[in-house]
Amino acid sequence: MNSHDPFTLALSLILSGDPGLFGIIHLSLQVSLSAVFVASLIGLPLGAAIALFRFPGRGLVITLLNALMGLPPVVAGLLVYLSLSRAGPLGQFGLLFTPTAMVIAQTLLVLPIIAALTRQAIEDLWEEYREQLQSMGSGRVRAIPTLLWDARITLTTAVLAGFGRASAEVGAVLIVGGNIEGVTRVMTTAIALETSKGDLALALALGLVLLTLVAAVNATAYLLGQMSRSRMQ
């Protein structure tokens, strides 16, 4: 690795399978995928329930959910930091500066995206299906799994949007994870650190991987959109 060009260095890091680099990538994926998994588990049924049921304050809940889609990662990080810090309500679990804390923070970021997009998708579909499903004897609760499955393509796009947000954010994981090498260092925090240290090769290598990942996610979302238009609509 004697080349002076950081771009060449970055490529050789990736191609040589540098363990430090791949450790960081592995942790990043582990944290973001876990967060997306938990957020989907809660957000899909929650969004569907908000779509189907009328209750006092529903408009407020929807507005809040939509607003939280733009929750700044550093604010999410700060909130989780305050809850998990020694003096906080969840301080006794000693989770601060662990990957678990990072998963919690990213779940908080992703959940509103998945829930809000699900709410919209399911509400549109319910509008279309309501009479037919009622005619066949389906109540609202029974309609939830039907609608979630029938909106599967749109909902996959929503989950991908959540994953895109989780994998690209730096503020939340930096605050609650602390960017500890080998423990809580992920792609985005490593890029921030290595750039400020002047190690552009590692930063650039991680940047390339991250860019590829985000491009792949968006390509998948696009293809799913095409598929749903041509086959299912």
Partner 1 sequence: MSQMPPAGVKNPLLELRDVSFVRSGKELLARTNLTLGSGGRTVIMGPNGAGKSLLMRLAHGLLKPSQGTIVAGGNGSPLPRQAMVFQRPVLLRRSTIANVTHALALNGVPRRLRRDQAEQALERFGLADLAQRPARILSGGEQQRLALARAWALEPGILFLDEPSAALDPAATKAVEDAVNAFHANGTKIVMTTHDLGQARRLADDVVFMCCGRIMEHTAAARFFKAPATAAAATFLRGELVLDVPAPSCFTH
CB 46 → partner 1: shortest distance, Å?
22
- Identify the residue whose tokens are 């579909």: 125
Q: Is the dihedral of CA 9, 13, 16, 19 positive or negative?
A: positive
Please state, in angstroms and as integers, the Cα–Cα distance from residue 44 to each residue in 4, 155, 213, following that order. 49, 8, 24
> In this structure, which amino acid lies at residue 66?
N
Token output for 100: 């678990």
> In this structure, which amino acid lies at residue 130?
R
Which residue, 47 or 164, is less far from partner 1 as judged by CB?
Answer: 47
Stretch that binds partner 1, among 63-71, 89-97, 124-132, 185-193 (CB under 8 A): 124-132
CB 57 → partner 1: shortest distance, Å?
24
d(CA 88, CA 157): 36
Q: Is 232 in the site for partner 1 (CB under 8 A)?
A: yes
How many CB atoms are closer than 10 A to CB 204? 22
Helices 19-52 and 187-197 meet at what angle, rounded to 10? 130
Stretch that binds partner 1, among 63-71, 109-117, 142-150, 169-177 (CB under 8 A): 142-150
Q: Is 54 in the site for partner 1 (CB under 8 A)?
A: no
Which residue, 86 or 231, is less far from partner 1 as judged by CB?
Answer: 231
Q: Is 138 in the site for partner 1 (CB under 8 A)?
A: yes
Helices 6-15 and 200-227 meet at what angle, rounded to 10? 70
CB 134 → partner 1: shortest distance, Å?
6
**Size of interface with partner 1, in residues (CB under 8 A):** 19
- With CB under 8 A as the contact rule, the residue among 82, 133, 168, 214 that binds partner 1 is 133
Which residue, 147 or 175, is less far from partner 1 as judged by CB?
Answer: 147
- 176-182's contacts with Cβ under 8 Å and 24+ in sequence apart are 176/77, 176/80, 176/81, 176/84, 176/96, 176/97, 176/101, 176/102, 176/104, 176/105, 177/97, 177/98, 177/99, 177/101, 177/102, 178/96, 178/97, 180/97, 182/23
CB 118 → partner 1: shortest distance, Å?
16
Stretch that binds partner 1, among 51-59, 75-83, 136-144, 172-180 (CB under 8 A): 136-144
Stretch that binds partner 1, among 55-63, 86-94, 143-151, 174-182 (CB under 8 A): 143-151
Q: Lay out the site mask for partner 1 across 147-176 (x = CB under 8 A, - = otherwise).
A: --xxxx------------------------
Which residue, 24 or 48, is less far from partner 1 as judged by CB?
Answer: 48
Q: Which residues of the chain form contacts with partner 1 (CB under 8 A)?
A: 128-129, 131-138, 142, 146, 149-152, 231-233
